C-alpha cells in the first residue's frame, strides 16, 4: 500500500470556522466543515478509506512531475503549481469567506464552501478529479445524485455536500465522482464543494472564481489592521495568520491544532484530539499577539473565557473547552480508523478536561495582566468575578499535586512549572487588586505568593544535578523549567537558572537546536526550543539565541507551517498540525530577540 504523505506535506486552509489540509499531491485529506472540532467529511489523513477530494495532473508524483506552492501574500489561500512533461497548471485552494466580509468579520459567517480554481499556465495538461466524500469520519458512504447544473449532490446522515465544476458535466459513480479533463494555457476551471445540513440551511451556491477573489481580499483586509515592527517580520506574520486561521471567529476561542490523533511517535499511542481551546493556548496566543491586539478583540475573548469557566467553586478550572465553551469533552476511540500510518487509537474528545492542572488560572491571569490597559481601570461583572475566583482557587489549592502542563496520564505530582504559574497568579492578582473592588485581599495574596516562591526555590532545585527539575524531589530534567525566566520568576542570569539552562540544553537538546521535553520524549518539542531562544536572550547571549532561532525555524514546511514536534532522526513533523503553540513560540522568540526586556 502507498505510504501516506508526510505530515509536513500538508498545507492549511481556514475560514476561521473550520479548516482543511491539502497535500502536495492535490488531495484534500481533512475537512471538518461544520467547525474545527466537527466530524470530518474527508478523513484520509487518518485512514485511506475515510474520504478525500483530489484534483491534480494525471500521474501526479510520477516522472517529470514537480510541485511548487505558496500562500498568496497575506492570506491562507494556497496556490500549488504542478509542472509536468506536458505543461504547467496551478490549483488555488481556499475555504471561502462570506461575500463582502472584511477584517474582523472574517469567519463570523463563513459559508462552509471549499474552493478550487484550476488555471492552465503552459502547454496542455490532463487533470484528474477524484471526489470521495465519507461523512462522520468515514462511517457513512453517501448516495450521489447528479444535478441539472452538472454538479453532484452527496447526502448521508446529517450531511449534504454539493460538488460543482464550471464547464464540466460530472457523473456520479456508485460511491465517488471521477472525471478527467484537459486544461490549456489561459484556461480557468472553478470548482466548489458546498456543505449543508440535511435539516438546516442548504449548501450555498458561489461562483468559485469570484469567491476566491473575495476571500483573498478578506484576508488582506484583516492583516492590514495588525502590524508588527519587530525582527523576522515575514515569519511572524505567517505565524500570526496561522493563529488567526485556528481562531474560531464566532467565539474567539483558539483551537490548539486543526487535527486529531496525529502521533507523537509513528506507530505509537500518544495520539490526542487537539481541536479544542486550551486556556493555556489562549493565554500564550494573547501574549504572542499583544502588540497587535485591539479592544474589540480582547473584550470578546475575555467574555468567552469568563462564560466558559462560569462561576468558580471548589472544582479545578478545566484546562480546555469546546470552541463555544462546552466543558464535557469525554474521549472515545474510532476503532474503524487505522490511524495515521497505523498509529492507533484515533481519539475524538480529550479527557484532559477532567485533570487538575494548577497552572491554568495563571495562564488566564497572565493574559489579563498583559492586556490590562485595554480592560479598564476597574473590572466589572464577569471579568472581575473570574479574576477573583481564579486567584482564590490558586491560594487555596497551590500546594496540591496535579498533572502538569504536559497532561500526563499517570499519577499526580508536584510539578515545578505548575507551582511557578501559581506564583504568577498571585503576583498578578496583587498588581490588579485596585481594579477588583472591595473583595480584593492583596496582603494575603502576597503572603501566599511569597510562600510559593520559597517552596519552589527549596523543593524544585536539585543540588546533585545542579538544576531545577520537572517536579519536586525528582531527578528528571524537564524543559518546562525554562519558563522560570520567561514568567519572570527568576532572571536568566541567576546562577541557578544559568546552570539549569545549560544542563537542559546539553541533556535534552540536539546539535540542530531541537529540545525534547524530557529524556524519553520521541521528538523535539518546538515550543520548548523557542523557550530556549528566549532564555538565551535573557541570559545575555543574543548571538547564540539568534543562531538557534534560525536553525529551529528551518524545520517549518515549505509554506511555513509547524506541527507539534520534529522527529530527531528524520526531521519529519510529528503530532497534530498546524500546532498553535509552535507558532506562538516562534512569535514570542522573535519578539524577545527584538525586545530582550519585554515583559
Per-residue pLDDT, averaged over 259-275, amounts to: 97
- Measure the CA–CA gap between 368 and 432, rounded to whole angstroms: 9
Q: How many CB atoms lie within 10 A of CB 443?
A: 9
> CB under 8 Å to 196, separation ≥6 — which residues?
112, 159, 160, 161, 162, 202, 203, 204
| pLDDT value of position 60 | 94
| pLDDT value of position 24 | 98
What residue has cell string 478529479? 129
User: Do 7-224 and 233-594 fold alike per CATH?
Assistant: no
Instruction: Answer whether residue 293 shows pLDDT above 50.
Output: no
Lowest-confidence range among 299-313, 399-413, 449-463?
299-313
| pLDDT value of position 437 | 95
Burial 283-304 (b: 16+ CB within 10 A, else e): bbbbbbbbbbbeeebbbebbeb
The residue ranking higher by pLDDT, 307 or 276, is: 276
What residue has cell string 470578546? 300
Cell of 5: 504523505
Nearest of 257, 283, 253, 254 to residue 272 by alpha carbon? 257
Cβ pair 85, 95 in contact under 8 A: no
DSSP E strand stretches across 166-245 = 177-184, 188-197
| pLDDT value of position 291 | 52
Per-residue pLDDT, averaged over 251-277, amounts to: 96
Sequence ranges of the domains in the chain: 7-224, 233-594
**Which run of H or of E encompasses 497?**
helix 495-508
| pLDDT value of position 101 | 77
- End-to-end alpha carbon distance in the chain: 52
Lowest-confidence range among 224-228, 236-240, 374-378, 490-494?
224-228
Fold of 233-594: Glycosyltransferase (1.50.10)
161 bridge partner residues: 154, 195
Q: Radius of gyration over alpha carbons of the chain, in Å?
A: 24
User: Crossing angle of helices 360-370/416-432, nearest 10°?
Assistant: 40
**Which run of H or of E encompasses 124?**
strand 113-132
Q: What is the per-residue pLDDT across 60-81, written as a single tens digit (0 to 9) for each?
A: 989 999 999 999 999 999 999 9
Q: What is the per-residue pLDDT across 550-595, written as a single tens digit (0 to 9) for each?
A: 999 999 999 999 999 999 999 999 999 999 999 999 999 999 999 9
| pLDDT value of position 224 | 74
Q: Label residue 2 by pLDDT band (50, 70, 90).
A: low
Q: Label residue 302 by pLDDT band (50, 70, 90).
A: confident
DSSP 540-554: T-HHHHHHHHHHHHT
CA quadruple 245, 250, 251, 256: dihedral positive or negative? negative
Cell of 269: 499511542
Give me the numbers of helices (H) and strands (E) for the chain, helices first please. Answer: 14, 24
Nearest of 258, 353, 332, 334 to residue 35 by alpha carbon? 258
Nearest of 194, 142, 154, 164 to residue 33 by alpha carbon? 194
Q: Say whether the peptide bond before residue 218 is cis (omega within 30 degrees of 0).
A: no
Nearest of 54, 66, 61 to residue 3 by alpha carbon? 61
Conformational region of residue 26, where left means phi above 0, alpha means psi within -120 to 50, and beta covers everything else: left
Strands 11-14 and 87-95: unpaired
Q: Label residue 199 by pLDDT band (50, 70, 90).
A: confident
The whole model's pTM is what?
Answer: 0.96
Q: What is the per-residue pLDDT across 425-441, written as a single tens digit (0 to 9) for each?
A: 999 999 999 999 999 99
Instruction: Answer whether residue 92 shows pLDDT above 50.
Output: yes
Cell of 358: 494548577
Cell of 123: 502547454
Q: What is the per-residue pLDDT across 98-117, written as a single tens digit (0 to 9) for each?
A: 988 776 657 678 899 999 99
Instruction: Answer whether residue 286 shows pLDDT above 90.
Output: no
Q: Label residue 176 by pLDDT band (50, 70, 90).
A: very high
SS3 of 112, please?
Answer: coil
Provide the CATH number for the domain formed by 7-224 in this structure.
2.70.98
Nearest of 345, 346, 383 to residue 364 by alpha carbon? 383
Amino acid at each position: 500500500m502507498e505510504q501516506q504523505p508526510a505530515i509536513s506535506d500538508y498545507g492549511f486552509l481556514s475560514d476561521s470556522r473550520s479548516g482543511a489540509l491539502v497535500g502536495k499531491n492535490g488531495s484534500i485529506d481533512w475537512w471538518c466543515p461544520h467547525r474545527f472540532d466537527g466530524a470530518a467529511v474527508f478523513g484520509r489523513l487518518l485512514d485511506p478509506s475515510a474520504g478525500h477530494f483530489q484534483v491534480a495532473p494525471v500521474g501526479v508524483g510520477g516522472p517529470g512531475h514537480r510541485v511548487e506552492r505558496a500562500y498568496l501574500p497575506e492570506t491562507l489561500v494556497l496556490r500549488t503549481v504542478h509542472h509536468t512533461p506536458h505543461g504547467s497548471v496551478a490549483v488555488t485552494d481556499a475555504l471561502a469567506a462570506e461575500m463582502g466580509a472584511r477584517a474582523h468579520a472574517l469567519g463570523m459567517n463563513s459559508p462552509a464552501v471549499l474552493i478550487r480554481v484550476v488555471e492552465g499556465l503552459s502547454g496542455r495538461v490532463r487533470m484528474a478529479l477524484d471526489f470521495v466524500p465519507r461523512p462522520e469520519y468515514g462511517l457513512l458512504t453517501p448516495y450521489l445524485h447528479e444535478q441539472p447544473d452538472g454538479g453532484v449532490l452527496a447526502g448521508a446522515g446529517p450531511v449534504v455536500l454539493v460538488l460543482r465544476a464550471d464547464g464540466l458535466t460530472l457523473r456520479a459513480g456508485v460511491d465517488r465522482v471521477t472525471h478527467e479533463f484537459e486544461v490549456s494555457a489561459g484556461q480557468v476551471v472553478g470548482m466548489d464543494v458546498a456543505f449543508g445540513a440535511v435539516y438546516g440551511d442548504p449548501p450555498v451556491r458561489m461562483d468559485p472564481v469570484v469567491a476566491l477573489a473575495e476571500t483573498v481580499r478578506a484576508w488582506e483586509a484583516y492583516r492590514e489592521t495588525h502590524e508588527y515592527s519587530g525582527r523576522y517580520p515575514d515569519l511572524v506574520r505567517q505565524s500570526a495568520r496561522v493563529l488567526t486561521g485556528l481562531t474560531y471567529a464566532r467565539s474567539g476561542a483558539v483551537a490548539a491544532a486543526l487535527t486529531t490523533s496525529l502521533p507523537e511517535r509513528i506507530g505509537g499511542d500518544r495520539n490526542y484530539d487537539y481541536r479544542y481551546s486550551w486556556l493555556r493556548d489562549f493565554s500564550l496566543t494573547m501574549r504572542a499577539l499583544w502588540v497587535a491586539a485591539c479592544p474589540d478583540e480582547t473584550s470578546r475573548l475575555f467574555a468567552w473565557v469568563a462564560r466558559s469557566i462560569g462561576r468558580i467553586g471548589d472544582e479545578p478550572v478545566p484546562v480546555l473547552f469546546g470552541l463555544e465553551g462546552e466543558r464535557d469533552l469525554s474521549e472515545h476511540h474510532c476503532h474503524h480508523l487505522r490511524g495515521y500510518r497505523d498509529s492507533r487509537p484515533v481519539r475524538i474528545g480529550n479527557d484532559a478536561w477532567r485533570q487538575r492542572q494548577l497552572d491554568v488560572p495563571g495562564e488566564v491571569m497572565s493574559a489579563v495582566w498583559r492586556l490590562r490597559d485595554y480592560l479598564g481601570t476597574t473590572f466589572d461583572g464577569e471579568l472581575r468575578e473570574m479574576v477573583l475566583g481564579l486567584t482564590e482557587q490558586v491560594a487555596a489549592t497551590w500546594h496540591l499535586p496535579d498533572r502538569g502542563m504536559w497532561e500526563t496520564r499517570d499519577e499526580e505530582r508536584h510539578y515545578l512549572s505548575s507551582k511557578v504559574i501559581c506564583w504568577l497568579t498571585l503576583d498578578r492578582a496583587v498588581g490588579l487588586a485596585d481594579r477588583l473592588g472591595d473583595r480584593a485581599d492583596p496582603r494575603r495574596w502576597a503572603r501566599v505568593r511569597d510562600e510559593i516562591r520559597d517552596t519552589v526555590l527549596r523543593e524544585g532545585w536539585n543540588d546533585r544535578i545542579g538544576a531545577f527539575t520537572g517536579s519536586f524531589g525528582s531527578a528528571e530534567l524537564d524543559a518546562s523549567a525554562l519558563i522560570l525566566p520567561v514568567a519572570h520568576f527568576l532572571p536568566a542570569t541567576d546562577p541557578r537558572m544559568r546552570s539549569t539552562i545549560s544542563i537542559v540544553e546539553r541533556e535534552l537538546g540536539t546539535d540542530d537546536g531541537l529540545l525534547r521535553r524530557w529524556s524519553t520524549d520521541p521528538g523535539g518539542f518546538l515550543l520548548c526550543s523557542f523557550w530556549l531562544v528566549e532564555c538565551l536572550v535573557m541570559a545575555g547571549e543574543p548571538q547564540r539565541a539568534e543562531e538557534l532561532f534560525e536553525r529551529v525555524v528551518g524545520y517549518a514546511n515549505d509554506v511555513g507551517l509547524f506541527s507539534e514536534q520534529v522527529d530527531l532522526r528524520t526531521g519529519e513533523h510529528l503530532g497534530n498540525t498546524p500546532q498553535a503553540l509552535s507558532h506562538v513560540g516562534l512569535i514570542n522568540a522573535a519578539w524577545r530577540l527584538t525586545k530582550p526586556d519585554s515583559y
